[in-house]
Amino acid sequence: MNKSFKSVITLLLLTVVLAACGSNNSGTGTTSNASPESANNGEKVKLTAWAWNVNVGALNEAITAYQQDHPNVALEVQDIGRLDVYDKLSTGLAAGGAGLPDIVLVEDDRLQGYLDAFPKGFVNLSEKGFDAKLSEFPTFKQELTKKDGVSYAFPFDAGPTGVFYRTDLFEQAGVDASKIETWDDYLAAGKLIKEKTGAQLFPVDKFKDDATLRIMLNEQGAFYFDKDGKIDFNNPKYVKALETLKKFDEAGLIKDVNGWDGTVSATVDGTIASIAFGAWYTGTITDQAKDLSGKWGVFQVPAFEKGGNRAANLGGSSWALTSTSKNVDAAFSFMEYFSTSPDVQKVAMEKYGLFPSLTSVYNEDIFTTGVEFFSNQNIWMLFAQEMNAVPTPYYTKDYSVALDESVKAQSDVFNGKAAADALKEAAARLKDRTSREVNGG
């Protein structure tokens, strides 16, 4: 992931040269366009999109519905793999937009990097009128798709977080999940669960990823960078999060896992009793642990103090239009339909497990009924109710470098270093690598 994303920054140097060559890259969508109206009058429009995995199916479902009123608009969705999308997008943008599709899927943690590196590479959606629809999305998703107050992407899926837990193991230990409100409560519950069942509390890929730490940061309204783009590793909230994570490790409650496969294995083999992750993890659990149906539940991520915020997000993506598209108007019309249609977003969730950012979908039946696999708990409403309370994380173009340094700091703490010291050292390294200012440094 990080290696691929670094190509964006490397290729930024090329854009300075290639921009002089020109490519009608105005960023306003003013290239010669075919509108959906002209298509209905007989002019056929074929849109192209780059995406991966389940997102491909969601887009194909949407175009089928869209064609009922726009029969001459076709869409070719190219499933070229997530990392290949980023490699090809970076190369195309650096070449002034050569070979790019009309529509491209970009994860939220990468979007700001592209907007910084290629400020004229994507269509200005504010100028196209999309801002009138933004109130239909949570604030954090709105802000993640903007640069300098301008919208450049259509909000799509999100990853509101929760703690997925084994109801049978909690019951065996006499732990009531509904009583867990804080990380201290969770720690006490974990000690009892391990004593009674032998299971550790949750998995962490200690030396390669900091997903749990990011959840802890986000719910506190902190992240790698502050809203001004300064390095925020020395933030007391960051120190508190890492110190809290270390407490769980010192109590023997964290299972060290290796990568995604290790995380999934620990989730389904009974060696851990819970895991904090995004809503999208429901699909992995139901697919990989079919024999555990009815033995899972979800509760909100614990707060750092009683009554504190328990909403956080992990993951999510948005759709952008490339400014060299010859079909900007048609692409905009389709993607506005795709992103703001409750019916379309409901299908994306029900069939493909993509949790919608569009808040009007939360009135649909799927959000008011229980899920059999999860002990008939209404888990989707639990996730939906978080969305408007999720603080905005500030990724910046240096997100991948900051992630690398955050993981190093986490590793240092698990190896015995004090959290404040590890973070201060990581902040200094990050400053050297990015030339950004450090808060509290």
Domains of the chain by range and CATH?
Answer: 2-158+314-370 (3.40.190.10), 159-312+392-434 (3.40.190.10)
**pLDDT score at 91:** 97
Q: How many CB atoms lie within 10 A of CB 294?
A: 12
Question: Can you read off the two tokens belonging to residue 53?
Answer: 């995995």
pLDDT in tens, 302-346: 999 999 999 999 999 999 999 999 999 999 999 999 999 999 999
Tell how far CA 366 is from the center of its chain.
22
**pLDDT score at 28:** 37
**pLDDT score at 43:** 80
- Evaluated on CA atoms 416, 205, 160, 144, the torsion sign reads positive
* Structural contact between residues 397 and 116, judged by C-beta atoms closer than 8 angstroms: yes
Torsional class of 229: left (φ above 0), alpha (ψ -120 to 50), beta (otherwise):
left
Which run of H or of E encompasses 298? strand 296-299
* Structural contact between residues 407 and 200, judged by C-beta atoms closer than 8 angstroms: no
From CA 63, how far away is CA 348, in angstroms rounded? 12
Three-class SS state of 208: coil
DSSP state of 126: T
Local confidence pLDDT in tens for the 441 residues of the chain: 444 444 444 443 333 333 333 333 333 333 335 555 554 455 899 999 999 999 999 999 999 999 999 999 999 999 999 999 999 999 999 999 999 999 999 999 999 999 999 999 999 999 999 999 999 999 999 999 999 999 999 999 999 999 999 999 999 999 999 999 999 999 999 999 999 999 999 999 999 999 999 999 999 999 999 999 999 999 999 999 999 999 999 999 999 999 999 999 999 999 999 999 999 999 999 999 999 999 999 999 999 999 999 999 999 999 999 999 999 999 999 999 999 999 999 999 999 999 999 999 999 999 999 999 999 999 999 999 999 999 999 999 999 999 999 999 999 999 999 999 999 999 999 999 999 999 986
* Structural contact between residues 152 and 175, judged by C-beta atoms closer than 8 angstroms: no
Nearest in space to 396 (alpha carbons), one of 92, 1, 8: 8
Torsional class of 311: left (φ above 0), alpha (ψ -120 to 50), beta (otherwise):
beta
CB proximity list for 266: less than 8 A, separation 6 or greater: 203, 255, 257, 272, 275
CB proximity list for 183: less than 8 A, separation 6 or greater: 216, 244, 302, 303, 304
CB proximity list for 347: less than 8 A, separation 6 or greater: 58, 61, 62
pLDDT in tens, 362-372: 999 999 999 99
Which long-range contacts link 384-387 to residues 24+ away (Cβ below 8 Å)?
384/160, 384/359, 386/160, 386/161, 386/162, 386/300, 386/310, 386/311, 386/312, 386/313, 387/138, 387/158, 387/160, 387/311, 387/357, 387/359
**pLDDT score at 440:** 81
**pLDDT score at 27:** 38
From CA 157, how far away is CA 91, in angstroms rounded? 25
**pLDDT score at 35:** 53
What's the one-letter identity of residue 188?
A
Question: Can you read off the two tokens belonging to residue 38?
Answer: 């002209």
From CA 410, how far away is CA 206, in angstroms rounded? 7
DSSP state of 272: B
Span between the terminal Cα atoms of the chain, in Å: 29
From CA 267, how far away is CA 205, in angstroms rounded? 13
3-state helix, strand, coil in the chain (%, to 5): 50, 15, 35
Instruction: Pinpoint the alpha helices (H) of 20-101.
Output: 36-40, 54-66, 82-94
Angle between helices 399-414 and 419-434 (to 10 degrees): 150
From CA 321, how far away is CA 336, in angstroms rounded? 11
From CA 126, how far away is CA 138, in angstroms rounded? 17
